[in-house]
Amino acid sequence: MQLRYSFRLRPDAYQQKALAKAFGCSRVVFNDAVRAREDARRAGQPFPTAGQLSRKLITEAKRTPERSWLAEVSSVVLQQSLRDAESAYKNFFTSLKGERRGAKMGAPRFKSRKDARQSVRFTANARWSITGSGRLNLPKIGAVKVKWSRTLPATPTSVTVIKDAAGRFFASFVIDTDPAADATRMPESDRTIGIDLGLTHFAVLSDGTKIDSPRFLRRAEKKLKKAHKELSRKQKGSKNRAKARLKVARAHARVADARREFHHQLSTKLISENQGIAVEDLTVAGLARTRLAKSVHDAGWSSFIGMLAYKAERYGRTLVKIGRFEPTTQTCSTCGVKDGPKPLNVREWTCGACGTVHDRDHNAAINVKTAAGLAVSACGAPVRPGAIPAQREETGSHGFPTEPRAA
């Protein structure tokens, strides 16, 4: 299994200038590749191959006065930019054919130097290395200081240098993990759990545990509002506006980092303590179009479930997602009688059949566990058919977690 390990970089002024040059050259090659394909499409000609693009946009372009500065950065960075363009078109065409999961993807667009996030990727043939003093030595950039928060479990296959909207630099290493070593880190457990995700509490477990919602965005709203107000008052194009924009980006980055850290700690705790975990397959996109949109985005359910999925696969756990239309809130977990829908303000209710008083969220968590087949009857047999192994989800490299994640 492949994982990403991200670490903060501390480049000096010269290295920041060299990285900016690498970001710019990579962006230009990507845009040239998109333009070449678009020109071929308009002319009714077949798309140029990857080899043709590499020869024309990199090898030959370096000999021209207009693109001679491409030679100032590593050629591997430019080749990887062409690969990104190829992948973007491949994803676009598979999405058009309906062979790609998720929302429809649009055609690749030109990149802007004003994009909030910029990155370059170095593969093994770029001859990058980690020095004896713990610095990351990158070709034509130099030995960059790294803030190591943990040791790498294996030799990385590639490294991506990322600059985010807040002006921070990160190195994201791709690692091939050892399944046997991962299995020893998480010994098998006989516990199973059902999780009901919500807004009043972030999660309520089937054993009665309630985990409060940190509400990171709500807590930081006052500071964010002030930062946005200062930004709106600055003249466009001025240096003061650039400083204010950076201040806003850093405020949002602190919120995102705190939320991600919370998700990592909670998901790791649940995975380490339970052999089987059941959750609801929530329609987050639909809920984000309601009046609860801000609270739904603040909770970050999709990110949390994604962490549970890849950690369950890594450590040999079982994650089951039950259908979103399962009446977990309406069903009595004691006698199984469906008692009908209830408004959100009803937090406790009494079953009309057996008279049991239920906490709304706790009852739902028990029903989630039962619907997933993780509940066990008095005779020791599963209430429903056994659980299925967790499936790998498509992942990206948009975040900077404090723990590794699937690559």
23 neighbors 120 (Cβ within 8 angstroms): yes
Residue in 84, 164, 196, 403 annotated catalytic: 196
263 neighbors 244 (Cβ within 8 angstroms): no
Q: Known catalytic residue: 361? A: yes
d(CA 52, CA 25): 19
d(CA 241, CA 237): 7
For 9, half-sphere exposure in the C-beta direction (CA atoms, 13 angstrom radius) is 30
How many other CB atoms sit within 10 Å of the CB of residue 253? 16
d(CA 209, CA 205): 5
Strand extents, DSSP E, 44-168: 118-123, 129-130, 136-138, 142-147, 158-163
375 neighbors 369 (Cβ within 8 angstroms): yes
**The two structure tokens encoding residue 309:** 């999925």
How many other CB atoms sit within 10 Å of the CB of residue 388? 12
Residue in 32, 280, 298, 403 annotated catalytic: 280
Region of residue 26 (phi > 0: left; psi between -120 and 50: alpha; otherwise: beta): alpha
192 neighbors 275 (Cβ within 8 angstroms): yes
**Distance separating the N- and C-terminal Cα atoms of the chain:** 8
Q: Known catalytic residue: 176? A: no
User: Which residues have CB under 8 Å from 261's CB, separation 6+?
Assistant: 402
Q: Known catalytic residue: 115? A: no
Strand 276-280 relative to strand 192-197: parallel, antiparallel, unpaired?
parallel
Residue in 32, 84, 164, 361 annotated catalytic: 361
The set of catalytic residues is 196, 280, 361
